[in-house]
Structure 1
């Protein structure tokens, strides 16, 4: 790390309210200052925060760009992100200032995989449509042709990004009778590929032509932004369902809506959005889209575990050691 001096009780600024257990521990261990709100910290307040702390604890809703980092005092040496994704942080600007960036990988894997599997089931089986029908009072009872969806057993699931979450989704999907196909920059070890009964596609376009359901699990970075663009959406067959519980910017949302409206895709399950929290009104009008409010990682257990990771990273840095979850060059 760039500065190995001990900082026994660093001044820590937390940009929004985290679980009570996390805040209580942080206040006991550090000189902690919390923005006690469930709203994002205003831009001016964010710049003021980085000018007066040793450690910043942001969330995905905070844009830590080059301008914010330029406003940081020399004492700011650690950005301990609450969450795994770091696309909201300018890593190059942070490195140029000698600021370490950490995240909280691994703790949200199972929760996000559960949510993904829920979307994989709910979209083809039209669960959201059925729930709305019952609540509307318009349901007239069972009939042989009502609310017909599609079974998922026997279908081909394509996974973009076969890291922790992609593998956890594959494990769940196998139990539902889906065949597993994946595209990843690097092929999995043969033993893991055999365990998941997964077929590697080195060419993403080839995989898109062969699957029935697509799910996205890659970090959002320069390589993955708009990875599923208009051209690639056009490669998929009309019966395909698209699931995204990763990051909105990976899928071209306008092209997705156009394809759904034109019947070029059968439906979508979305937990993330390109311009979050704004959602294209056309999506809201489509009955074949299941939408959830970025809640893939929203479990009590996951949030508390993320807080513990943040605390561990700060403590290791404060003791003069390299934090265990330092984000390295590959994320930029």
Structure 2
């Protein structure tokens, strides 16, 4: 029998929801490109419930305990005396989320001799030291595509919020004011702007498609150029690298995975090369940008705004400068954790567990590391020799 340790974000401050804003969530038939939705043998929750927090348990407890397995769920993940570190020592499986990551470092892996599987409930497994997982022959899997569109929608929302100066305008109303002059002094139309996407994978392409109707000029860069048909359909301009794109755009939306080639990419030099008054939206990983360079650019006016939902570490310290930087639109790491997305990534997590516990192959598109090497999605999204923490 297996021991599964599951690290999830805490319940809401005012308690686990007794009821929800909506009675149902929309049903989608599949993902763009033909990938099938998660297909577990069963579900022990109703889609639309808060299953990503501790009390929700990803809907896994009944399934696992009925089959004789042990499930430990916690949000306590920091420090040597944390529940995570105590329970990981004899765990077979670790489940974590990119929004509340249990950083599976080489040191933690060394202290977990039985660990065989690390699952990301969502997408993005850079909180796992992939090199250490490869060396130990630990399988790493994530629920690919489960919340890609959720992230894309969040990025579009942040783009509009920054350009239209939404958050300060709302604050004037919330505080009883009617300060039209203050609200519009930094508000622009998105129409006509040059908008660029760093990495045009599933999320990046979804952002491009959603922004196309706004009458913007779209740019992208990626290691793999998109087919000519897609470029022509969306009117895309391809750039060979991020530096070329950044200099040509008013808005840059980052959707690249974190690996040695992208870490620290948007440093002071690159940001200084952008148009004065540009915007950066980052729903990828915080370390792709230089934290202090962003703050300095906001203070100087080189950047008109910065928004995103990714931080390092997560959660960030209380005095993290992005919390109070001018003209920021930061949120907690919530872009991929909507109730709609939770239904998919919880179902996908169960599908992965069902396969692994039964000795069946895990879907190739869910694999990041398998058999001692990058595999499946991991082979095209990550780079060994520096990935992970």
**Shorter-chain TM-score above 0.5:** yes
Count, aligned residues:
321
Residue 317 of structure 1 is aligned with which of 315, 334, 356? 356
| Equivalent of residue 90 in structure 1, options 129, 140, 145 | 129
**What is the rounded CA distance, in whole Å, between the counterparts of 1:113 and 1:191 in structure 2?**
21
Question: If the length of structure 2 is used for normalisation, what is the TM-score?
Answer: 0.77
Match of 2:5 in 1: 13
- Name the stretch that deviates more: 23-32 or 180-189: 23-32
Partner of residue 230, structure 2: 192
Secondary structure of the corresponding residue to residue 254 of structure 1: helix
Relative to structure 1, the CA distance from residue 147 to residue 243 in structure 2 (aligned partners, 3 Å threshold; closer, same or farther) is same
Q: 1:177 aligns with which of 190, 193, 215?
A: 215
1:234-313 equivalent positions in 2, closer than 5 A? 234-276=272-314, 277-278=316-317, 282-313=321-352
Q: How far 1:237 sits from its partner (Å)? A: 0.7
Q: Distance in 2 between matches of 1:136 and 1:121?
A: 22
Could you list the per-position Cα deviations for residues 38-69 of structure 1 after superposition, in whole angstroms to 9, with x for gaps in the alignment?
Answer: 44365443333232222221233211111111
Match of 2:109 in 1: 69
TM-score by length of 1: 0.89
State the partner residue of 1:210.
248
**Alignment partner, residue 13 of structure 2:** none
Take 2:346 and 2:78, find their aligned partners in 1: how far apart are those partners?
18
Offset of 1:280 from its aligned partner? Answer: 5.5
**Unmatched runs of 5 consecutive residues or more in structure 2:** 9-53, 385-389
Relative distance call for 1:162 and 1:34 in structure 2 (3 A) is same
- Whole-angstrom CA distance in 1 between matches of 2:56 and 2:265: 34
Deviation string for 1:301-330 (max 9, x for gaps)?
211211111111122122223311110424
Of 30, 40, 55, which residue of structure 1 is paired with 2:77? 40
Distance 1:302 1:146, change over 3 A: closer
Task: Describe the shift of the 1:280–1:252 C-alpha distance in structure 2 as closer, same or farther (beyond 3 A).
Answer: farther
Instruction: Work out whether 1:123 is the aligned partner of 2:115.
Output: no
- After TM superposition, give the deviation of residue 282 of structure 1 in Å: 4.7
**CA positional deviation for 1:188:** 1.1
Q: Tell me: CA distance 1:18–1:99, structure 2 relative to 1, closer, same or farther (3 Å).
A: farther
Where do 1:160-175 residues align within 5 Å?
A: 160-175=198-213
Match of 2:148 in 1: 109
- Identify if the C-alpha distance between structure 1 residues 284 and 63 changes in structure 2 by more than 3 Å, giving closer, same or farther: closer
Pairwise CA distance, 1:89: 0.7
- What is the CA distance between 1:281 and its match in structure 2? 5.5
Q: Residues 314 and 283 from structure 1, CA distance in 2 versus in 1: closer, same or farther, beyond 3 angstroms?
A: closer
Note if contact 1:233-1:259 (Cα within 8 Å) is conserved in structure 2.
yes
Q: Would the alpha carbon gap of residues 146 and 10 (structure 1) be closer, same or farther in structure 2, given more than 3 Å must change?
A: closer
Alignment check: 8 A CA contact 2:165 2:183 kept: no
Q: C-alpha separation between the residues in 1 aligned to 2:368 and 2:238?
A: 27
| Aligned-pair CA distance for 1:166 | 0.3
Distance apart, 1:285 and its partner CA: 3.9
Which is worse superposed, 201-210 or 247-256?
A: 201-210
